[in-house]
Amino acid sequence: MNFRMRSESATPGTGLQYTLLVAAVMQKWTSGEARAAGVAIVRTLRDAGHAAYFAGGCVRDELLGFEPFDFDVATDAAPDRIQELFRRTAAVGASFGVVLVRERGVTVEVATFRADGPYSDRRRPDHVEFSDAAHDAQRRDFTINALFLDPLAPSGSRGRVIDHVGGMADIDARLLRAVGEADLRLAEDHLRALRAVRFAARYGLTIEPGTADAIRRHAGRLAGVSRERIGDELRRMMAHQTRAIAATLLADLGLDAVVFGSAGPPAPSLSRLAGTPSFACCLACWALERGAIRSAAQIPGLVGGWRRSLCLSNDERAGMRDIMASTLEVEQAWEALAPAPRKRLAAREWFEETLAVVGARDAARAEGVRQAVRALASDGIGLAPAPLISGDDLAGAGLQPGPAFARVLAAVYDAQLEGRVATRAAALALALRLARELGSPESV
């Protein structure tokens, strides 16, 4: 993907193009700035004799009362014509009629109206034909996503809605309905079943009965969708506070059994996760809520399965595993732990998100643990002070490296955490005594 200056050559990899690409990816803008850029693009296209409207998600969000930050434009101008009219562009999908336009520091996707051919790969059309707004609306997934908005028209405060699919009635009724025949829309791309769940949860919509029935009929075919795409959809669901509603809809529509390999109950604890929990945190809470984990020994197998099902990154896998293990330890053993293992637990990388999961399941328990951790952190020693001695110190004292090194160092560090040793000399003396109790120094 390379932005080009209209007056310059479009040689890939130039410093200017790279700078523009980074700006397009990294820059953040306000909704007002993004809308103004979109309006300017629509006006330029109109002045050149073309039809042009806002399209897709930005129209949906404005009509549903949400503030959009990305504005897409649909037009009857062909990709080559779009690139002629604007100074900074990047042809990211010219064969599908998609060009990125950089306007007023904002990157806007400008797409040519099109009608799609068959979807042989159940993801993208085999070919497209450039068309008009009415045909473009008919090829979209749901009616709420198939509306256009003329931001230059005087009707209303935001512009005039162009509706070819009955989307305004569904907006008013808070319904999510497939465009045209639901079975056909799902057969084109089975990921649309998960998109339906995400939109319904995110916007508080009811899935229209015919569309919901079609999703249930097609649920098993979701297994043919790439796991990476499935994982991305679930990340989007879990990133919003309506995540518990999404989980319930997945179960109700028979999709969770396909995603995870087995059906599960609703997960109300997901709605009580405080703050902005990571995907790993949400998955850990979800797995525990589904009753999939009763002991730490079950965790590796479940995490491995979910990693394959959702194409998890190494960090997400590690986070899910550690949060579940720590949650079980807090819920099952915290009261019995001595100060040292409590400090070790509280010092783990994922402990804050562990407490988020514990709090979602039992708020009183989480608050009790937080108070205990605050007391431990203020005892003059801290939760994770630097160890007083290391393996090099043991070797320097004449001990031979071996399996007992770790046991000795762990025991000495526990003593340090609990204030039983406070100096390097005392720590080394304890280490030598423990080594003798485990056997001769030479065997350590």
Summarize pLDDT for 285-301 with one digit per residue, the tens.
999 998 878 889 999 99
What CA–CA distances, in Å, run from 238 to 14, 306, 383? 38, 15, 31
What is the topology classification, in CATH, of domain 1-173? Beta Polymerase; domain 2 (3.30.460)
Name the residue ranges covered by the structural domains of the chain.
1-173, 267-384, 391-443
Assess whether pLDDT exceeds 80 at residue 378.
yes
Question: What pLDDT, on a 0 to 100 scale, did the predictor assign at position 117?
Answer: 57
Contact 260, 306 (CB under 8 A): yes
- Tell me: the pLDDT tens digits for 7-63? 333 333 334 333 434 444 445 678 889 999 999 999 999 999 999 999 999 999 999
Instruction: For residue 386, give the 3-state DSSP assignment.
Output: coil
CA distance 155 to 303: 53
CA distance 159 to 166: 18
Q: What percent of the chain has pLDDT over 90?
A: 75
Place 443 in a pLDDT band, splitting at 50, 70 and 90. Answer: very low
Q: What average pLDDT does this structure show over 155-171?
A: 88
pTM across the whole model: 0.86
Question: What pLDDT, on a 0 to 100 scale, did the predictor assign at position 123?
Answer: 54
**Tokens 């994770």 belong to residue:** 384
CA distance 244 to 10: 47
Question: What pLDDT, on a 0 to 100 scale, did the predictor assign at position 7?
Answer: 34
3-state secondary structure 119-178: CCCCCCCCCEEECCHHHHHHCCCEHHHCCEEECCCCCCCCCEEECCCCHHHHHHHCEECE
**Tokens 């990921």 belong to residue:** 191
Element (H, E) at 115: strand 114-116
* Residue 327 token pair: 């949650």
Greatest alpha-carbon pair distance for the chain in Å reads: 92
Q: What average pLDDT does this structure show over 264-268?
A: 87
130 DSSP β-pair partners: 114
DSSP annotation of 387 reads P
**Tokens 């009580």 belong to residue:** 272
Element (H, E) at 53: strand 52-55
**Tokens 């949860």 belong to residue:** 201
What CA–CA distances, in Å, run from 409 to 381, 427, 444? 17, 9, 12
Q: What average pLDDT does this structure show over 424-442?
A: 84
The residues, ordered by sequence, that sit 6+ positions from 412 with a Cβ below 8 Å of its Cβ are 387, 388, 389, 421, 427, 430, 431, 434
Question: What pLDDT, on a 0 to 100 scale, did the predictor assign at position 153?
Answer: 87
Instruction: For residue 29, give the 3-state DSSP assignment.
Output: coil
Residue 124, Cβ neighbours under 10 Å: how many? 15
Question: What pLDDT, on a 0 to 100 scale, did the predictor assign at position 32?
Answer: 87
Element (H, E) at 101: strand 98-103
- Tell me: the pLDDT tens digits for 206-225? 999 999 999 999 999 999 89
- Tell me: the pLDDT tens digits for 319-349? 999 999 999 999 999 999 999 999 999 999 9
DSSP 215-243: HHHHGGGGGGS-HHHHHHHHHHHHTSTTH
Instruction: For residue 99, give the 3-state DSSP assignment.
Output: strand
Question: What pLDDT, on a 0 to 100 scale, did the predictor assign at position 10?
Answer: 35
Place 263 in a pLDDT band, splitting at 50, 70 and 90. Answer: confident
- Helix axis angle, 351-361 relative to 363-377, nearest 10°? 150
* Residue 106 token pair: 């904002």
